[in-house]
Amino acid sequence: MKITILLLFSLMLLATDKLPAYAFLGYDGRDWIVSVTQSNGDTKEIRLQQEPHSFDYDFKKNRIVYIGANGTLYLYEKGHESKVSVPKTTSKYTQPSFICASNTLYAVELLNGNSKSTQIISIDLNKSLVSTVVQQNSSQFEPSQINQQTLLFTNLVCNHGCGKLMQEIWKKDLVLGTSDQLTLLNAFSNNPSIHPDDHWLFFSSNKNESYHIWAKDLHSDKRSFEVTQGSGMDSFVNALGKGNFLYIRQNKGDHTLMYGDIEGSSYKITLPKPYEKIRQLKVNRCQ
């Protein structure tokens, strides 16, 4: 009885909190659609010309950047799509991410079209100018902005002759040019997220075999720890500030949007429309 009362009380508290605007790719049984829900609850669906493989949503300008099934980088804006101008090379691109307060985006460049050798670039949409942001001996993925000075990304390395792939989380000071490793789990950690006004790093990792949400206090030397539990696979976490986050849980074929906190509590968020699958959750990280 006590547990039930606490759960109901927690759900009431959650209901009083306004969720941020969020977007994800939803599969309706026929197509992958960009589903966008504003903080007031209004929802819209956007069908793109190409099937989106990876995308980002600009909540301020209501536009989308995505990699289509044909490998081309597109910009969707005001109902129209156009190809993003990049140099004509053997490279391919993935994981685009808008940069706040500018007409620029990050992307992962697959050198010679191969994920074994990558670098993170910025693309100025006004000038069609491409610049290298992160280039290391290993492969870098998942660029996202923490603030105007700091970039968050993952670094993929191969252990014991590629018998085990490990991916750790890094950040780079774009002013000083220095990079720091944030995690050392010797596992595959991805989907990192840091709210610009908070000190918690959230990410998904298979450190304990199943993918769950992990957290790292950036104001402490303490190790990262597992936040979510259960038989499901937890991924695409997005930090909301104050130790809270949204993420996607996949369990026995069901895909659910979840709300979690640093204390380990998690609650299901009811979507305005059900989808067979959901992936690549995004929240409005630009203040």
* pLDDT of 285: 85
Q: How many CB atoms lie within 10 A of CB 130?
A: 18
Residue 17 confidence (pLDDT) above 80: no
* pLDDT of 176: 96
Using 50, 70 and 90 to split pLDDT, how confident is the model at 224?
very high
- CATH topology for the 2-283 domain: Neuraminidase (2.120.10)
Residue 81 confidence (pLDDT) above 90: yes
* pLDDT of 198: 95
